[in-house]
Amino acid sequence: MKTDPQYLADRYAATWTLSDAAERRASIEELWARDGIHVLHPPEEIREAAAALGFAHTTLEARGYEAIEARVTRSHEDFVEKRGITFRARTDAVRLKRVVKFGWEAVSIESGDVQGGGVEVLVLDEDGRIAADYMYPGT
């Protein structure tokens, strides 16, 4: 399946902002493979704190629909509901074979000001669903 990279980036970012839990789950099942994985490269302060506790690997992983749903839901609660932040994909999505890369922004719902962002690297399966999702916030 050939997936337009910008369409995928926009749908991906929108998933993190969906308030309705059923819509969020349906979007996750549409975008990710059943055994897909979301890997977060945490901000530096979190990596440093984990390293100080003796953790050699400081990436965070969620695998499968339930774990990814929990991750997206937690992010929605923390950023959208509590902090008034929404997410949007930048218009820089590119695809190379089964890899899609794009930037995203965290935006204040109230002011429209960009509060942060990052880079996403998605590896797609043969059906065009996300098999691996590598998130780099703060870049």
Domain annotation for the chain: domains and CATH numbers: 5-137 (3.10.450.50)
Predicted confidence (pLDDT) per residue in 82-106, tens digit: 999 999 999 999 999 999 999 999 9
The residue written with tokens 């935006």 in the block is 107
Predicted confidence (pLDDT) per residue in 38-57, tens digit: 998 776 777 677 777 777 66
Task: Supply the pTM of this predicted model.
Answer: 0.88
Say what percent of the chain tops pLDDT 70.
94
What is the Cα–Cα distance from 112 to 45, expressed in whole angstroms? 26
The gap from C-alpha 126 to its chain's centroid, in whole angstroms, comes to 20
Q: How many residues does the chain have?
A: 139
Residue 2 banded pLDDT, cuts 50, 70, 90: low
Return phi, psi of residue 30, to 5°: -75, -40
